[in-house]
Amino acid sequence: MHELSLVEGIIQTVGELATANGKQVKAVSVGVGELAQFDLRVIRELLAELKKGTPLEGARIQVRLERAKVRCLNCKKEWSFGDIVSPLSKDEKEVVHFFPEILSTYSRCPSCRKHYLEIEEGRSVRLAEVKFED
């Protein structure tokens, strides 16, 4: 379960920030990219349980999905990941789901029809915001 290590890292990082600032954590926002392949429900449950006894204990925690964005390196237009993969076959979609870095092998830009696609956002997990008590 990769979610456990992820949540432990979030708690450790926010705990270190709280210690460095000498303040209690009020709220934490975590963004999980749609291509990161983590279960948001599991992350939420683990955060709720593992924050007990840490600087995050009284904090409001928000975990939200961040949609992936794809940019064409040729025409510079930006698309949602869903727009780019929707024309693919079921088998191609499955391959790209597990290996998003090969998106350009199967997909083209809807505008210029080139294969020069790059995933700009939505691949990682990030600590989007940490708020501290005044």
Residue 46's region, left for phi above 0, alpha for psi from -120 to 50, else beta, is alpha
Residue among 87, 92, 85, 47 at smallest CA distance from 67:
85
| pLDDT for the residue 1 | 59
Place of tokens 């869903």: 82
All structural domains of the chain with their residue ranges: 2-67+122-132, 69-121
| pLDDT for the residue 37 | 86
For domain 2-67+122-132, which CATH number applies: 1.10.150.120, 3.40.50.720, 2.30.30.110, 3.30.2320.50?
3.30.2320.50
User: Is the separation of the CB atoms in 38 and 3 below 8 Å?
Assistant: yes
Q: Using one digit for the tens of pLDDT, what is the confidence trace for 27-40?
A: 999 999 999 989 99
Q: DSSP secondary-structure letter at 52?
A: T
| pLDDT for the residue 46 | 97
Please list the ranges in the chain whose pLDDT falls under 70. 1
| pLDDT for the residue 97 | 86
Could you give the percent of the chain with pLDDT greater than 90? Answer: 92
What's the chain's average pLDDT? Answer: 94
3-state secondary structure of 47: helix
> What size, in residues, is the chain?
134
| pLDDT for the residue 98 | 87
